[in-house]
Amino acid sequence: MSLKWITALFFSFLAYMIVLFVIVVLVTFYYQDFDFSRTVMISVPYIIVLISYLVIMLIIFKIKLD
């Protein structure tokens, strides 16, 4: 597999994690309180969907481009 596609997926993952951070910060400021359970309820499904999406993209890139 080409290294540039793995690098692209890695930077995509980082960008989506920055979006998650912004979401958590906005929710924290909205409620004016940091609640760990609320943060986990936002983060876990987001990360599960994100990893599923990236695995699918990795499979597609591997089939189509190699």
Domain extent listing, the chain: 3-65
Listed in sequence order, the residues at least 6 apart from 65 whose beta carbon sits closer than 8 Å to its beta carbon are 2, 5
What is the residue type of 13? Answer: F
Structure confidence at residue 12 (pLDDT): 93
Tokens of 19: 């979006």
Q: What is the mean pLDDT of residues 48-53?
A: 96
Cα angle at 53 between 12 and 14, to 5 degrees? 20
What's the N-to-C CA distance of the chain in angstroms? 6
Question: Picking from 4-13, 17-26, 47-56, which range would have the lowest pLDDT averaged per residue?
Answer: 4-13
- What percentage of the chain reaches a pLDDT higher than 90? 70
Q: CB 24: neighbour CB atoms within 10 A?
A: 16
Structure confidence at residue 61 (pLDDT): 84
Is the pTM of the predicted complex or chain greater than 0.75?
Answer: yes
Structure confidence at residue 1 (pLDDT): 58
